[in-house]
Chains A and B, each alone.
Chain A
Amino acid sequence: MSARVLVGVKRVIDYAVKIRVKPDKTGVVTDGVKHSMNPFCEIAIEEAVRLKEKKLIKEVIAVSCGPQQSQETIRTALAMGADRGIHVDVSGKDYENLGPLQVSKILAALAKKEDVRLIILGKQAIDDDCNQTGQMTAALLDWPQGTFASQVDFQEDSLKVEREIDGGLETIKIKMPAVVTADLRLNEPRYATLPNIMKAKKKKIDTVKPSDLGVDLSSQLEVLSVEEPSQRQAGVKVETVEDLIKKLRDSGRI
């Protein structure tokens, strides 16, 4: 009951927005585009709040790394039931270079600072699809990890995690402290209603800098080019099966 849980919430371009690549191919257009919480992070927050409602944990801390606007994402997490927020202020060039490794270092440092027993993250973000932050965070802390969780059960000082793997489900038991990453079927996140949104305004968000946490944000990765997926070519209609086979032969497919 005394455990604290840290949940990462990433601000990403809303899933319903049509993504446009910048003409110079350095990235995608983000200015004036609607952003919201990464859907897998919503699932992570929901799971943490449910654990709190079952009185299995004491406090849920929502953390987001990014510019000032990341606080809106934290507010959403608070409206969903998180107790307090931490905004790790990263902007400008540092924000452009911010990848899973840098975020993992920040999360690992915060986990130690806040003395948390469990970190719950989305399995991946819908913008970069990296699927690395949970794994890297566990490695940096040398904690066990339960990734792609579709069910989490508390068992005293350990967790039973059901994982979605190729061809079925795998159930593992891991000792806490641990890192869990949420898969799509873990739960269905709640809707933040107006009373909860209003009450969330009274919850506290602390702002820290990566340097306060002793984290170096330098990156070894260089983005060479960002391009749109190639356009699907129009097909052709054939009249008979014979025509189809001939077409396939001619194009060397069979």
Chain B
Amino acid sequence: MLTLTQGFLRFKPTLPGAMPIRFAQHARFLVVAKYHTVECFSSENDIRKFIVENTEVVQGNHLTPEIKMRLFTPKCRFWRARPELWPFSDPYWAIYWPGGQALTRFLFDNPGTSRGKKVLDLGSGCGASAMAASLRGASHVLANDIDPVATTAIKMNCELNNLKPLPVSVENLIGTKAEDWDLILLGDMFYDTELSDGLHSWLKQCVSTHRTQVLIGDPGRANFENHKIQKWLRELAHYELPLCVTEENYGLTSSKVWEFLP
């Protein structure tokens, strides 16, 4: 905890724009309670302010120019900073993941997929897929992400797109009793074996109990490609990633949408 504070002081000159002392103080608490960041900030406004100061509104630099989002870009001062200087748990909500981009593109192009449906966006992150489902006429959308900061980020992204803020849940739903979702969306969720195994059995249960449709967006991550779930997938769409997206995702150049059919 001390190292981080010292780190701020030591590396401050390398950051374009000085880190406000206020955040350096927060940072001390944030490292101790990495996954309880919301409680450590005095108000949601603090988090909002931090998000505004450290992200950029992006539209068009990804597969879905229909929506704007506050994302991490090369113009943000943390882009090239040492990762340990970032005061939150990793801001996966500030990244528009390539799997999520493909899934969101697919929802925009195929409005029937979500129209009138009860939709769960699991591991929602920046909330793009949840917003697309809502914009294409879903009757109910729940964005779910275990990072409490993502809750605020998703709300802010909804506001950017003149959408009424979607309900967001921070509960880890994987392994809980399957609810009657018509559609479950998973963008870039198969990055490690343990999580993939848990997801696989939970999704099987969701499909068998409620005939839920399960759509997965993934850019061909090694763990996903080598996972046993591959036996039960049908490819629905394949998108080439724009250059600016591949630069944020070294080694990845395309992304696909799959339907899980156990």
Contact = CB atoms under 8 A, between A and B. Distances in A.
Contacts of A196: 248-250
A198 B95 CA distance: 10
Interface in A28-58: 49, 52-53, 55, 58
A227 B95 CA distance: 50
Interface string B242-262: 000010111111000000000
B222 A198 contact: no
A193 interface: yes
A79 to B, nearest CB: 7
Given A59-B222, A195-B79, A202-B191, A190 B92 contact: no
Contact of A53 (B191, B192, B193, B246): B246
A7 B253 CA distance: 20
B250 A80 contact: yes
Interface string A141-181: 00000000000000000000000000000000000000000
A194 B83 contact: yes
A190 B248 CA distance: 12
Interface string B156-184: 00000000000000000000000000000
Contacts of B80: 191, 193-194
A194 B78 contact: yes
DSSP class of B's interface residues: helix, strand, loop or mixed? loop
Contact of B251 (A81, A193, A195, A202): A81
Interface string A180-206: 000000000011111111110111100
Contacts of B223: 84, 203-204
A52 B253 CA distance: 9
Nearest to B253: A53
A203 to B, nearest CB: 7
Contacts of B192: 202, 204
B95 A55 contact: no
Nearest to A200: B250
B35 interface: no
Interface residues of B, number: 26
Contact of A204 (B79, B92, B193, B253): B193
B84 to A, nearest CB: 10
Contacts of B90: 198, 201
A121 interface: no
Contact of B95 (A49, A80, A190, A195): A195
B250 A83 contact: no
Contacts of B81: 194
A13 interface: no
Contacts of A59: 222, 225
Q: Considering the complex of A and B, which 9 residue pairs feature the smallest CB-CB distances, nearest first?
A: A81-B250, A81-B251, A83-B222, A202-B191, A198-B90, A84-B222, A49-B251, A197-B83, A52-B251
Interface of B: 72, 74, 78-81, 83, 86, 90-92, 95, 191-193, 221-223, 225, 246, 248-253
Interface of A: 49, 52-53, 55, 58-60, 79-84, 190-199, 201-204
30 contacts: A49-B251, A53-B253, A58-B225, A59-B225, A60-B251, A79-B250, A81-B250, A81-B252, A82-B251, A83-B221, A83-B222, A83-B251, A190-B250, A192-B250, A193-B248, A194-B72, A194-B78, A194-B80, A194-B81, A194-B86, A195-B95, A196-B249, A196-B250, A197-B83, A198-B83, A201-B90, A202-B192, A203-B221, A203-B223, A204-B222
